[in-house]
Amino acid sequence: MTAIDGKGRVAIPAAMRAVIEKNVERFGGEQRTVVIGLHPKDPCLIGYDPAWLKLAHARIERMAEDAGDEVDFNLARRRLGLTESAGFDASGRFILPDFYAMKGRLLPGTDAVFQGAGNFFEIWNPDVLLATPGIDETVKELVAFTRAKRSAK
């Protein structure tokens, strides 16, 4: 769990930042850039490196071709078009894009939870995560524990 400062900046955890930087080196893309979008199902944001955006676009087209269908443009818009790139500094801090911050209820002065999820990571408002049905109970327990530990300091 990390704080969102008064300017709307939040820091990508070091391990996730290292993966983004390694993928940029391996597959190309803009250095120190993260792509932010809406999660396709849950009320949170997702983040990933620019190279994954290209792979996801190709995957959607390939799925349509394999099924003999046209590309589902609403799916493509949601997963690929409703994104925004944000540059981050050496410590991983970036400004959450306004629209996405509003959608994820990730406002200045609140906290954010970064959760790895395979090819991307999720960014949650901890209150929203704790209230969302279907989220693993151990994940919720960890968020509640971390929040209590931070409050005790």
pLDDT digits (tens, 9 = 90+) for 77-96: 555 557 898 999 999 999 99
- CA nearest neighbour of 123 among 150, 145, 153, 92: 92
DSSP state of 41: S
Alpha carbon 94 to its chain's center = 12
Task: Please tell me the predicted confidence (pLDDT) of residue 36.
Answer: 94
Does residue 126 register a pLDDT over 80?
yes
Three-state SS string over 46-100 comes to EEECHHHHHHHHHHHHHHHHHHCCCCCHHHHHHHHHCEEEEECCCCCEEECCHHH
Burial 118-143 (b: 16+ CB within 10 A, else e): eebbbbbbbebbbeeeebeeeeeeeb
pLDDT in the model for residue 72: 61
Whether the model pTM is above 0.85: no
What is the token pair recorded at 28?
């190309």
Closest CA to 81 of 123, 117, 46, 38: 38
Q: How far is 101 from 124, CA to CA, in rounded Å?
A: 10
**Percent of all residues in the chain with a pLDDT value above 90, rounded to a whole number:** 52
Q: Which of 30, 14, 134 is nearest to 87 (CA)?
A: 30
d(CA 63, CA 7): 40
pLDDT tens digits for 29-75?
667 889 999 998 899 999 988 876 666 656 656 655 666 666 566 65
Reduced to 3 states (helix: H, G, I; strand: E, B; else coil), residue 102 is: helix
The yes-or-no verdict on residue 143 having pLDDT over 80 is: yes
Which CATH code for domain 2-125?
A: 3.40.1550.20
